[in-house]
Amino acid sequence: MDDSAKQLLRLIIRRIPSNKLYSTLRKWEHLSKKQFESLDFTQPKWLICDNLLSLCEENDLSAKHVTELELIHRIEQPTQGAWHVCQLIDAQEEALTSDLLQFRESFKLHLKGLISHVAVKIKKHEDDAIWIRIAWGDNFTKPNHLKPTYVVHHLQTPYVFLSGLNVKHKPLLHQALVLATHHESIKDVHLSGRCLTALRDLLMRQYKQVFPVKHPRPLQERSPLLTHPNIENEHAKHAENRLQMASEVFGDGTLPKLETALYKLETRYRGKERGTMGAREEPFRGVVRFSSSNILESLKYCTSSGMAAAPVTPLLSSIVQKGRNYFVITDKGPGLSQTPGPKV
């Protein structure tokens, strides 16, 4: 075990919270049962780390094994860091039958063909997601394990989730992904957020959607504050209507947790008096940014409580229906701009 590997292990152990240390190390299958039991988790972290280092020396583990520990920790903490999503386009026949082994080999082969110094670690998570950790180097330096890129992909689906990807490495990774997954190309879908599971649920439609049904849901039991039965009845109907509409647009139950929605405006002033405003050649540029701990819940509440006008504007409903949270609005198109989003 060289010094850089030791340093990396120390760093990783420092990053893992004490209460998670036991469960994370348990999943790391490079210590024998006896060795694992010899570790005392009531000790301070630095002491555990020293013991762990000597065990690693004993087992002759290398940096490769240490990075696996980090990958396990990262899988346990999917809300760390920002994720953004890409979509693979035009699947070939083979895409439907590719399995983990083929993918692993093909991806490593293609990436290493593009760049010589790169360390790749691939692991399949319980929910069939493939987690890839890539440490990049360049022609003259070793892979930098301190700033790895994480990629999550579910085979047979067109979506790829990326975190910590440098602009310089983007084309390399894209090419390797496209070739390994048997697709024609890849594009950014302008969806990002901190919660990986939320992004996945939104795109794979794993959240509870509401569709119009023949038998409307019965009215919920309301508080017995009856002023006038007819007024109450009317209000209840409206409220129910609004809730149904909001649920049809945004979904029901726990909604995927997105933090932001960003709209870039490039519009012209369209008033009748052509004063200083109308004479401008340049379009107005503006940025509208919505942020909340759960933006979809907030927008749904605005609609269901009657604060926002119903029916919901396509600008807001596109977040869920198109699965993106970054839009550019220009004057040319009647509605949304032509920047590509994921196909529904």
Partner 1 sequence: MVDLKPLKREEWRTPVECLKEGVLSHLNVLEMEALRLSRKQQLSLQQQSRVDDLRIMVEKLRAQRDHLKARAQSTLSLQQLKAMVGQRKEVCDDDADGDEEGHSESLQLHLSLLMAKRAQVKDLLQGHHLIGGYDVTEASRGKGVCVSIATAFQGHYLETYNLELDVARTVRISRHNIPPFIPLEKLAQDNLQTDLREFLGTLSKHLNAFAGRRQQVCLIQEVLKGSVEVMESNALFNMVVLMCTEPGQKGTAVLCTLEYSDLTRFLPTKVVIESEDKTLPTTPKWKEHQSLLLETPAHTVLQALKRKGQIV
Q: Which residues bind partner 1 (CB under 8 A)?
A: 96-97, 99-100, 128, 154-159, 203-205, 209, 211-214, 311, 321, 343-344
**Which residues is 159 bridged to in the sheet?**
87
Q: Which two tokens stand for residue 249?
A: 């647009």
- Encoding tokens for residue 67? 């990075």
In the complex, what is the shortest distance from the CB of residue 153 to partner 1, in angstroms, rounded to a whole number? 11
Closest distance to partner 1 from the beta carbon of 317 (Å)? 9
Residue 103: exposed, middle, or buried by beta-carbon count in 10 A (0-12, 13-18, 19+)? Answer: buried
**Residue (213 or 225) nearer to partner 1, CB:** 213
- Closer residue to partner 1, CB minimum distance, 89 or 114: 89
Q: Which residue blocks in the chain are alpha helix, DSSP H?
A: 3-15, 18-27, 33-38, 45-59, 63-76, 100-114, 170-180, 196-203, 229-250, 276-279, 295-304, 314-318
User: Which residue from 291, 199, 296 is spatially nearest to 254, judged by alpha carbons?
Assistant: 296
Q: Which helix (H) or strand (E) holds 185?
A: strand 183-193
- In angstroms, what is the minimal distance from the CB of 113 to partner 1? 26
Nearer to partner 1, 214 or 332 (CB): 214
Cβ closest to partner 1, residue 128 vs residue 234: 128
| Least CB distance to partner 1 at residue 212 (A) | 5
The nearer residue to partner 1, 67 or 247, going by C-beta atoms, is 247
Whether residue 149 contacts residue 166, with contact meaning beta carbons closer than 8 Å, is answered with yes
**Nearer Cβ to partner 1, position 131 or 136?**
131
User: What are 228-232's contacts with CB under 8 Å, separation 24+?
Assistant: none
Q: How far is the CB of 205 from partner 1 (least distance, A)?
A: 5
Nearest approach, Cβ of 336 to partner 1 (angstroms)? 14
- Check: CB of residue 180 under 8 Å from CB of residue 110: yes
Q: How far is the CB of 125 from partner 1 (least distance, A)?
A: 13
User: How many C-beta atoms surround the C-beta of residue 99 within 10 A?
Assistant: 9
- Give the angle 47-49-53 at the CA atoms, nearest 5°: 120
Cβ proximity to partner 1, 77 vs 157, nearer residue: 157
